Amino acid sequence: MAGRPPAYHYPGYPTSDTELITVQYPAAWVPFVTGIISEADYPDLWDSPPDDLTDQLSNLQYLLAEPVTMSYPKRVTLLPIESTVISGNPLTLVVNTSGLYGGFIRQNPAANLDRFTQSFFLAAGTYKLHCYAATSATSAKLQISIDDSELVTEDFYTSTTILNTHFFWQFTVDYDGVHILDCVANGKNASSSGYAINIHCFFIAPTSDI
């Protein structure tokens, strides 16, 4: 079996369930609050624990797991309907079967400084962020940031509505893990009559792909 968690392996056993939960376990240990642990179930956990260890672990169960190497994706599709609105009105689906994913998402009614974010897992590397949007005569300029670093401000105005308009920009992330896409309606073209941001989807892929 793999090594023991700190609560068992080192001096200073926890004095309560709450204290045990807050112990910082290595990645090799996966805690589950799913049942009652017992010496019969996990004999290898018991070297010389305090007599009341079973009572302390009531309703807690720790399952052994071998160390795992995390593998992060290099290609991600982001659907704006799954985004979190930071400011402005809720996201609305505008159905149009000629558009990717059957239409586009926008905050409705739209206003300047509308903002939404979406988190995603991604491996460290250099990528292209592809955006498929419905540009229009009521569209805003879209400011895009990744991990609080501004990537671009793109004008989404066109005199007529054009579905599936493809934009892409290159960016780099220097660590594996969770990243955040941040989108803000930041001003508009002088000819635009509104601040709409109409997004079909975002797609992230290595620069070598497309």
Q: Provide the pLDDT for residue 18.
A: 37
Q: Provide the pLDDT for residue 10.
A: 33
DSSP string, the chain: -PPPPHHHHSSS--SSHHHHHTS---TTEEEE-SS---TTT-GGG-SS--TTHHHHTTT-EEEE---------S-EEE-GGG-EEEESSPEEEEE-TTSGGGEEEEESS--TT-EEEEEEEE-SEEEEEEEEEEEBTTB-EEEEEETTEEEEEEE-B-SS-EEEEEEEEEEEE-SSEEEEEEEEE----TT-S--B--EEEEEEEETTT-
Summarize pLDDT for 74-99 with one digit per residue, the tens.
999 999 999 999 999 999 999 999 99
Among 83, 85, 84, 106, CA closest to 95: 106
Q: Please, are residues 202 and 129 in contact by the beta-carbon 8 Å criterion?
A: yes
Please tell me the distance from the alpha carbon of residue 66 to that of residue 30, in angstroms, as a whole number.
9
Q: Which of 14, 39, 64 is the last residue of a domain?
A: 64
Q: Which of 16, 35, 64 is the last residue of a domain?
A: 64
Q: What is the 3-state secondary structure (H, E, C) of 147-175?
A: CCEEEEEEECECCCCEEEEEEEEEEEECC
Do 54 and 85 lie in a common domain? Answer: no
Q: Provide the pLDDT for residue 98.
A: 96
Do 108 and 194 lie in a common domain? Answer: yes
Question: What size, in residues, is the chain?
Answer: 210
pLDDT digits (tens), the chain, 210 positions:
344 344 333 333 344 343 333 333 344 334 433 344 445 555 554 444 444 445 444 444 444 444 556 789 999 999 999 999 999 999 999 999 999 999 999 999 999 999 999 999 999 999 999 999 999 999 999 999 999 999 999 999 999 999 999 999 999 999 999 999 999 999 999 999 999 999 999 999 999 886
Do 126 and 192 lie in a common domain? Answer: yes
Do 109 and 192 lie in a common domain? Answer: yes
Q: Provide the pLDDT for residue 157.
A: 98
Q: Provide the pLDDT for residue 71.
A: 87
Do 60 and 105 lie in a common domain? Answer: no
Among 165, 134, 129, CA closest to 147: 129
* Average pLDDT, rounded, for the chain: 79
Please tell me the distance from the alpha carbon of residue 59 to that of residue 180, in angstroms, as a whole number.
36
Which CATH number fits the domain that encloses residue 160? 2.60.120.260
- Which residue carries 């905050």 as its tokens? 107
Q: Provide the pLDDT for residue 208.
A: 87
Do 34 and 126 lie in a common domain? Answer: no
Q: Determine, yes or no, domain membership for 84.
A: yes
Q: Which domain holds residue 87?
A: 76-206
Domain count, the chain: 2
Q: Determine, yes or no, domain membership for 34.
A: yes
Do 99 and 196 lie in a common domain? Answer: yes
Q: Provide the pLDDT for residue 41.
A: 53
Do 98 and 191 lie in a common domain? Answer: yes
Q: Determine, yes or no, domain membership for 69.
A: no
Q: Determine, yes or no, domain membership for 71.
A: no
Q: Determine, yes or no, domain membership for 1.
A: no
Please tell me the distance from the alpha carbon of residue 43 to that of residue 30, in angstroms, as a whole number.
17
Do 59 and 138 lie in a common domain? Answer: no
Do 189 and 98 lie in a common domain? Answer: yes
